[in-house]
Chains A and B, each alone.
Chain A
Amino acid sequence: MSARLRLSNVRKVYGEGSPDAYLAFDSISLDVAPSEFVAVVGPSGCGKSTLLRIAAGLAPASAGEVELDGRSVSGPPPGVVYLFQQYAKSLFPWRTVIDNVMFPLEAAPRSERRSLRERCSEYLKQVGLAGFENKYPWQLSGGMQQRVAIARALAAEPRVLLLDEPFSAVDALTRMELQSLVLDLWRENRFTAVLVTHDVEEAVFLADRVAVLSHRPTTLSEVIEVGLPRPRDHIATREDKRFLELRHHLMEALLGRLAPVAA
């Protein structure tokens, strides 16, 4: 199967051309198949978020190429939605919840607005926010704000959803709820998902494959098949022997105590 999202030899140099330029990462190549869920883990400061921003067309690569369905990406392409870690800053505080979700659809003709609004209500229901349509984002809790951002992402009907540590700013229980929510939505909507995180358990719990970035100079050190059965459950999956093996291995990789692969 051809790749939905393909990174070929992507390289990023921060402050290019200046004397204190430094190499963030180099030679990163990764193919993500349609409807696949790939997680990218790496130590903090390795440039994971930058890599995702390059994949989204939000930042230029210093070298290499990003392709979406075989077409080179130079700016944010339609069908790719980015879920930010700072969900609160990504929502529009002057818009109600439903109007935030409507945002990606406002290029549509006025005659369709009514049915689109109903669709957005439906997305809000899917993320568990039915009845919150007319609230403002700043009246909601952090977890609920990220749900609004997720509903807005769904409204854009993404082919690819890029998740940039989207659950790192919420409490542990809310994080698990949001993880399950994203898995459910991914299963129903069949979009391709790329998650960047430093939380190895989150990566293993959610993804089909986990790509591991090394310490600086950063490159892609390995890609691991998760192979855990779906649907995944926060209690059962996290007690699975395979889950613990993968967790062990990834922790070693991230903490810099690399052991032989026990795949």
Chain B
Amino acid sequence: MRDRLLPRLLGILSIVALLGAWEVASRTGALNPVLMPRPSLVGLTLWEILVGGEFLGPLGHTLLLFAVGYGLACLIGITLGLLMGASPVIYGLFEPLVELIRPLPKSALVPALFLFLGIGPATMVTVVVLAAVFPVLINTLQGVRGIDPVLLDTARTFQCSRTRTLLSVVLPAAMPMILAGMRVGLGLGLVLVILAEMLAGESGLGYLILDLQRSFQIREMYAWIAVLAAVGGTLAVIFDWMDKRVVPWRGRA
């Protein structure tokens, strides 16, 4: 217990030290207090935002957009990855296309998407899907490829049909890899949802952070960045929790 507690305390210490240094630097004028307001003041603003429930609207907006985009990315990535892993024909059909789009920084596609999807939710969802789908797809494919042949032979000797093998053997066996891909996709999706809101949004955390910066409400801007950091951290914790429950055999079988 103590072994795990100590590193955690040290981790908190480093954050406290950084905020403390910032606080001192801002008070003494070593940092421009207008551009880098004291963390204590930012904290106060953050408190007001949280207590007033003011954060719920933009947060809900961002989370909804993210959920739709990320959900679609997972659905498409897993389905296509399974099919590409199971069928050489489907693999041959999609592999060049995947390799063409995958290395492209997805943010580069935003201006093009504005042209035919308009400046709005359709573009934003598409960007999130494009960002998150590839890690899920590639990992699913590798997960399917990496399945031990003994497992597939077992299914064959028990007269398991192709569809049933895919759904009740291949899919769960690839799940540890799929979840690893989903974890990468989660981070990328969050980055792109904020970027999309900054470029095309009318609400949401990304829109708000940019808007506050433009109207020079610097303290509020930092407070909302803190909200965003909390969102990222919370999503990561939820993901870890889910991962442990979905693939408890990870590293043990």
The interface of chain A, by Cβ under 8 A from chain B, is: 53, 56, 58, 75-76, 78, 80-82, 84, 86, 88-94, 103-104, 106-107, 136-138, 156
Chain A interface: which of B92-100, B119-127, B151-159? Answer: B151-159
- Please report the C-alpha to C-alpha distance between residue A94 and residue B249 in the assembled complex, in whole angstroms: 7
- Please report the C-alpha to C-alpha distance between residue A91 and residue B159 in the assembled complex, in whole angstroms: 16
Chain A residue with Cβ nearest B151: A89
**Smallest CB separation, B21 vs chain A (Å):** 47
A103 cross-chain contacts in B, Cβ below 8 A: 158
Given A93-B249, A94-B249: A76 in contact with B159 (beta carbons within 8 A): yes
Residue in contact with B172 in the complex, picked from A58, A92, A137, CB distance below 8 Å = A92
Task: Give the size range of B's interface with the partner.
Answer: 20 to 34
The answer to whether A82 touches B153, judged by C-beta atoms less than 8 angstroms apart, is yes
The answer to whether B154 touches A90, judged by C-beta atoms less than 8 angstroms apart, is yes
Residue in contact with A76 in the complex, picked from B148, B157, B164, B172, CB distance below 8 Å = B157
The answer to whether B157 touches A82, judged by C-beta atoms less than 8 angstroms apart, is yes
Binary flags per residue of B139-160, CB closer than 8 Å to A gives 1, else 0: 0000000001011011011110
The answer to whether B253 touches A88, judged by C-beta atoms less than 8 angstroms apart, is yes
**Smallest CB separation, A9 vs chain B (Å):** 24
Return the 9 tightest CB-CB contacts between A and B, nearest first. Answer: A93-B253, A93-B249, A138-B253, A89-B150, A104-B158, A94-B172, A138-B252, A89-B148, A82-B157
A136 cross-chain contacts in B, Cβ below 8 A: 248-249
- Please report the C-alpha to C-alpha distance between residue A112 and residue B154 in the assembled complex, in whole angstroms: 23
**Smallest CB separation, B94 vs chain A (Å):** 27
Known: A89-B148, A93-B252, A156-B158; 5 extra A-B contacts, CB below 8 A, are A78-B159, A81-B157, A84-B153, A137-B253, A138-B252
The interface of chain B, by Cβ under 8 A from chain A, is: 148, 150-151, 153-154, 156-159, 164, 168-169, 172-173, 175, 247-249, 252-253
A106 cross-chain contacts in B, Cβ below 8 A: 164, 168
Task: Return 8 A-B CB contacts under 8 Å, by A number.
Answer: A76-B156, A76-B159, A80-B157, A92-B172, A93-B249, A94-B247, A137-B253, A138-B253
Most chain B CB atoms below 10 A, which of A94, A104, A107: A94
Chain A residue with Cβ nearest B248: A136
The answer to whether B159 touches A90, judged by C-beta atoms less than 8 angstroms apart, is no
Given A92-B172, A136-B249: A58 in contact with B153 (beta carbons within 8 A): yes
- Please report the C-alpha to C-alpha distance between residue A80 and residue B157 in the assembled complex, in whole angstroms: 7
- Please report the C-alpha to C-alpha distance between residue A215 and residue B110 in the assembled complex, in whole angstroms: 66
- Please report the C-alpha to C-alpha distance between residue A156 and residue B156 in the assembled complex, in whole angstroms: 13
Chain B residue with Cβ nearest A136: B249
**Smallest CB separation, A64 vs chain B (Å):** 21
**Smallest CB separation, A15 vs chain B (Å):** 17
- Please report the C-alpha to C-alpha distance between residue A58 and residue B154 in the assembled complex, in whole angstroms: 10
The answer to whether A92 touches B151, judged by C-beta atoms less than 8 angstroms apart, is yes
- Please report the C-alpha to C-alpha distance between residue A190 and residue B204 in the assembled complex, in whole angstroms: 69
- Please report the C-alpha to C-alpha distance between residue A56 and residue B150 in the assembled complex, in whole angstroms: 13
Chain A residue with Cβ nearest B148: A89
